Amino acid sequence: MLESIDRDAPDEIWCLGDLVGYGPRPNRCCAVVAERADACLIGNHDLAVLGRLDLEIFAPDAAISAAWTSGVLEPKARAYLESHEPKGEREGVGLFHASARDPVWEYVLSPGVAYASLAEAPQKLVLVGHSHVALSFHLSDTTLATAAEGTELELAGDRWLLNPGSVGQPRDGDPRAAWLLLDLEARRATFRRVAYDVGATQAELRERGLPEALAARLEHGV
């Protein structure tokens, strides 16, 4: 994914949280994001790994993975996660891990929630993560739409909420890593997908004894 991003040579890279909690290389993920990202948020899985959220409120497989991650997380990675908040702003764009109303927990997966979240934010453009579904919502017609590979949006003259999708745990039926290219000067957004070696990641998850369901779902993006 980073190679794909580099081909567009963006001015900045933003990460909307959940660096750790599901994957087999939490320390490497933190190191790479710390090196490459100009802005980073903390997500609910990051908070769980740090012990700031009760694992009992998570699904069983997610709780098992978070507990394992907490046990292997190195001090430098832990300190990096601790340094972030679940919301922020960059270049006039509102950044929220979950939503503007609830930056940690609220899933933006319906027009009503998207409308309420956008109404809560002062920025004309809002980015959210958390749901692992690439989507777009604009205030003029209150349409919430999933965003497939190559979807391009003209953002001028309207308020928008966008979700770039997820790098390692997509939930929209496309197993490829997802990211979003923003051109703030042209007011344009382009949704991107990048294939990666899913089998290698599955093998690493199984080697570490993590739940099989977490490995299997990577093939299907669900």
Cα 104 from Cα 28, distance rounded (Å): 23
171: containing domain: 2-219
Angle formed at CA 215 by CA 212 and CA 218, multiple of 5 degrees: 145
Span 33-51, average pLDDT: 98
Residue range 71-92, pLDDT digits in tens: 999 999 999 999 999 999 999 9
Cα 109 from Cα 112, distance rounded (Å): 9
Residue range 131-189, pLDDT digits in tens: 999 999 998 888 899 999 999 999 988 899 999 999 988 999 999 999 999 999 999 99
The confidence score (pLDDT) of residue 58 equals: 97
For strands 135-138 and 177-183, give the pairing: unpaired
Confidence (pTM):
0.96
CB 162 within 8 A of CB 125: yes
Q: Report the Cα 25 to chain-centroid distance in Å.
A: 16
CB 27 within 8 A of CB 74: yes
Query: Could you tell me the sign of the dihedral formed by the alpha carbons of 40, 16, 199, 59, in that order?
Result: positive
CATH number, residue 138: 3.60.21.10
| Structural domain count of the chain | 1
